[in-house]
Amino acid sequence: MKQKSKIYFIISTVVIIILAVVLFKGLTIGDYQINSLPSSLKLGLDLQGGVSIEEAIVDKNVTADTIQRAKDLIEVRVNGFGVSESSVTLTSKNRILIEIPGVYDQQKALQQIGSTGKLTFVGPDNKVILTGDDVKDASVGVDQTGNPVVDLKLNSAGAQKFYVATGKFLNQRIAIKMDNKEYSNPNVVSQIADGNAQITGMANVDEAKKLAGIIKSGALPVSLAPAQARTIGASLGADAKPTSAKAAIIGVIIVMLFMLFYYRVPGFIADLGLTVYIILTMLVFIYVSKATLTLPGIAGLLLSVGIAVDANVLMFERLREELRNGKSLKSALDLGYHRALPSILDSNITTIISGLVLYWVGSGVVKGFALTLVIGVICSLFTALVVTRFLLHAFVNAGWLTDNKFYTPKTKA
């Protein structure tokens, strides 16, 4: 038992250290490269600099569907800047927030966002077949197999043009473009005479809704007026990044040193668990949620670090109490975890609920804070209840340090 526990602990510790070094420094082996986690983060406007514009919808009594179509079309235009971290969100019923990191020309952004927009159907000979004026309607439907499609209806002029084009380009593709960017390239399977066409090949209903919205709204379906526009300079973003990184590193180091010197062996184990927590949180944040990191997001992550440590503190204080009551080290460890579990679950679950409510009702930076907080708390709960517990049990069962003084500084031997 002791030998197995020693092997488990040593291997686990070595793996954690190697993962930490590789994932935070990066690694290149021949042509294969592992990018560091910090370099893989998508940075928000406040960390990178750029343009933030909030557009107000001027029209009255606008339906939710119309607002959503306007948002989708603005996303199309914003993506034309070629910035992958751009975001378009509905901040209220009549406000749309557009954030474009790395772009500093406010007037150009306003002009592109509020432009009329040009929808075209282009044949394989690169000639325009239809424009947005020829489209009567576009809606989401399903085909005979239940797959999502876009049902297209043309006016009389468009139907005549499409009849000629679909006969000419039978078994060829007609591209659907907005502002010269292609969004669909359906194949012509038959000549269409009545002006009713069906576009297939949609991956899901959301994709079909977006394409239908683009086709239906060549021009913005609502009138917009800039409610707020500001430019965050590149120098401000450049200053924010190293400052935020330094604050995060210093904060984590101070927490780790406190745990190590105050709780001794359990503190060392908690530091290993905290390392796993940081790696896991960043992996989820980058590759699962694919979220953009902002200053409020960093605040949420740092707050979750404190919550992660809090779970360990609860467990270690329970361990100390059991040792004071004369329990053996192994018994104290099991009882400590068992009795600390309700408090840990209560505090973490209530925090998760609060974060979900903030994410649901909030907007903009509030959502960013809430998302990182919820991700961090869930990861901290996992590392505290699984990783730290496993490592501490393995260390105790290995029999390296059995004196109570190594597990709590104030315990009577």
- Over the stretch 290-321, which tens digit does the pLDDT of each residue have? 777 777 888 888 888 888 888 899 999 899 88
Q: How confident is the model at residue 395 (pLDDT cuts 50, 70, 90)?
A: very high
Q: How confident is the model at residue 350 (pLDDT cuts 50, 70, 90)?
A: very high
Whether residue 81 sits in one domain with residue 172 = no
Residue 281 carries which side chain, given as an amino acid letter? T
Average pLDDT estimate for 99-122: 76
pLDDT at residue number 72: 78
Question: Comparing 179 with 80, which gets the higher pLDDT?
Answer: 179
Domain membership of residue 164 (yes or no) is: yes
Average pLDDT, the chain: 85
Domain membership of residue 356 (yes or no) is: yes
Question: What is the total count of domains within the chain?
Answer: 3
Domain membership of residue 413 (yes or no) is: no
What tokens appear for 219 in the block? 């021009």
Whether residue 181 sits in one domain with residue 32 = no
Lowest-confidence segment of 55-64, 226-235, 260-269 by average pLDDT: 226-235
pLDDT at residue number 240: 67
**Model confidence, pTM:** 0.67
Domain membership of residue 412 (yes or no) is: no
Whether residue 256 sits in one domain with residue 210 = no
Whether residue 82 sits in one domain with residue 175 = no
Whether residue 263 sits in one domain with residue 200 = no
Q: Give the CB-side neighbour count of residue 174, counting CA atoms within 13 A.
A: 28
Whether residue 227 sits in one domain with residue 107 = yes
pLDDT at residue number 412: 47
Domain membership of residue 147 (yes or no) is: yes
Which range has highest mean pLDDT (7-21, 38-52, 216-230, 319-333)? 7-21
Whether residue 111 sits in one domain with residue 13 = no
Whether residue 258 sits in one domain with residue 335 = yes
pLDDT at residue number 116: 53
Query: Among 92, 27, 73, 96, which residue's Cα sits nearest to residue 178?
Result: 73
Q: How confident is the model at residue 288 (pLDDT cuts 50, 70, 90)?
A: confident
Percent share of the chain, pLDDT over 90:
34
The boundaries of the domain holding residue 96 are: 50-116+222-232
Average pLDDT estimate for 252-260: 91
Average pLDDT estimate for 144-157: 90
pLDDT at residue number 83: 56
Q: How confident is the model at residue 237 (pLDDT cuts 50, 70, 90)?
A: low
Average pLDDT estimate for 70-94: 73
What tokens appear for 117 in the block? 């927009």
Whether residue 247 sits in one domain with residue 111 = no
Whether residue 108 sits in one domain with residue 31 = no
Domain membership of residue 411 (yes or no) is: no
User: Is the confidence at residue 353, as pLDDT, over 90?
Assistant: yes
pLDDT at residue number 181: 78
Q: Locate tokens 């876009």: which residue?
A: 150
pLDDT at residue number 197: 92
Lowest-confidence segment of 75-84, 165-174, 192-201, 221-230 by average pLDDT: 75-84
User: Is the confidence at residue 242, as pLDDT, over 60?
Assistant: yes
User: Is the confidence at residue 112, as pLDDT, over 70?
Assistant: no
Q: How confident is the model at residue 411 (pLDDT cuts 50, 70, 90)?
A: very low
Whether residue 149 sits in one domain with residue 204 = yes
Domain membership of residue 364 (yes or no) is: yes
